[in-house]
Amino acid sequence: MLIRIGRGQFSGLNTFAKDRTVDSIERNAHAVLLPAIDSLELTDDLKRYFDEGGRCLLLGETRAEYVSRRMSDARCASERAEDFRRLAGEVATRADRVLIALDQEPAGIERLHGLAPSFGDREALLSLQDEVIRQRAHDIGRKARELGVGMFLGPVVDVLTGRNPWLHGRTLDTDALQVARIAQAFIGGIQSAGIVATAKHFPGHHDITGDPAIELADVRGTVKDLLPGFDVFRSAIQAGVSAIMTGPALVPAVDPQYPSSRSEKTINMLRHEFGFAGIIVSDDIDAVAMLRGLSDSETAVAALKAGADLILLPATRIGEIAMHIVAAVRSGDLPEHRLADAIRNVETNSDALAVQ
């Protein structure tokens, strides 16, 4: 959910940065960003980002933790619940509405390590009944809310049938029915605790040529090969999932020209064929497979034009990318209403989960 501070709106059009007046386009350009950090500290750039309209933050992990699928021993020994609450409180003093996200995947990456209940490994998860999964997910969600977190980038619902070095160790099962069952229970559980669930990575990556984070990677096969994964996304939507993350790779069976997170065809499919009205989150805009000749700033604008609502990016790139979005709006390349629509969509779908 969006944590409300005062009575201001999510776009924050009447708030001013400490050192200069920030106009509405600039504020809205900051409000559609989801910067990722690998610590629990706000840099001066992040403070400026929140002062100038930013509302979202991803508490990420290091590359080594991402690759190993576990938080480091040093992190687990040093991070405490009060560290998360302190960060959330500091952000709340700078932004009137806040959405803090992190990776918390059932049987995958668990950013909250020992600070929240766990599902254990995939074998243990597969043995659990739906109601047990739902209740444990609810407990995880409640703990996360106590820490100031409002969004999980999970569950991973890709159904692997071939090679996928990118998602190895993060997926739920090779059986689409099992993936759908677990995902629905997980989504229902965490959202009943007021946490935005994010099913990822649309349109599915059953068999991919490499790791799209560091390589030019394409998803192999035809639309028929994607159908089992499509069914899982449909089931997540039926379960009421509030957000879906699009993938970073090229999926030629859906769009032979543009990677999913900046593909209008892909996002239109999700909106119109699948009937998804929730938040669409781009994958990392600096992923090699997503750039394909563009800068990260150009990729951010392309993702927004395609229909994404939140743009995932490294926190070190906030300032330049926000200004590139502003320039695109002022030049007419990016319609100003697209930012307003994105902000409204995040706000509406997040607030709908607020626990009364």
- The C-alpha atoms of residue 2 and residue 150 are separated, in whole angstroms, by 7
Q: Give the pairing of strands 56-59 and 97-102.
A: parallel
Nearest to 36 by CA among 351, 282, 276: 282
| Percent helix, percent strand, percent coil in the chain, to nearest 5 | 45, 15, 40
- Answer whether 125's CB lies under 8 Å from 117's CB: no
Nearest to 260 by CA among 219, 221, 296, 223: 219
pLDDT confidence tier of residue 235, bands split at 50, 70 and 90: very high
pLDDT exceeds cutoff 50 at 188: yes
Which residue in the block uniquely carries the two structure tokens 């607030």?
A: 351
pLDDT at site 64 = 93
Domain ranges across the chain: 3-351
pLDDT 10s digits, 21-58: 568 999 999 999 999 999 999 999 999 999 999 999 99
- The C-alpha atoms of residue 335 and residue 328 are separated, in whole angstroms, by 8
pLDDT 10s digits, 79-133: 999 999 999 999 999 987 899 999 999 989 999 999 999 998 889 999 999 999 9
pLDDT at site 303 = 98
| Residue 280 three-state SS | strand
Peptide bond into 206 cis (omega under 30): no
Nearest to 350 by CA among 197, 136, 205, 126: 197
Alpha carbon separation from 16 to 1, 19, 31, 290 (Å, rounded): 24, 8, 14, 34
CATH of 3-351, one of 3.40.366.10, 3.30.1490.20, 2.60.40.10, 3.20.20.300: 3.20.20.300
Inter-helix orientation angle 24-31/336-351, to 10°: 50
pLDDT at site 107 = 86
pLDDT exceeds cutoff 80 at 16: no
| pTM of the predicted structure, to 2 decimals | 0.93
User: What is the rounded average pLDDT of the residues 278-300?
Assistant: 97
Q: Is 216 exposed, middle or buried (0-12, 13-18, 19+ CB in 10 A)?
A: middle
- Answer whether 269's CB lies under 8 Å from 278's CB: no
pLDDT at site 328 = 97
User: What is the rounded average pLDDT of the residues 185-199?
Assistant: 97
pLDDT at site 259 = 98
pLDDT 10s digits, 138-182: 999 999 999 999 999 999 999 998 888 888 888 899 999 999 999
Within 13 Å, how many C-alpha atoms sit on residue 139's CB side?
A: 12
* DSSP code at position 7: T
User: What is the rounded average pLDDT of the residues 323-329?
Assistant: 97
State the average pLDDT for the chain: 91
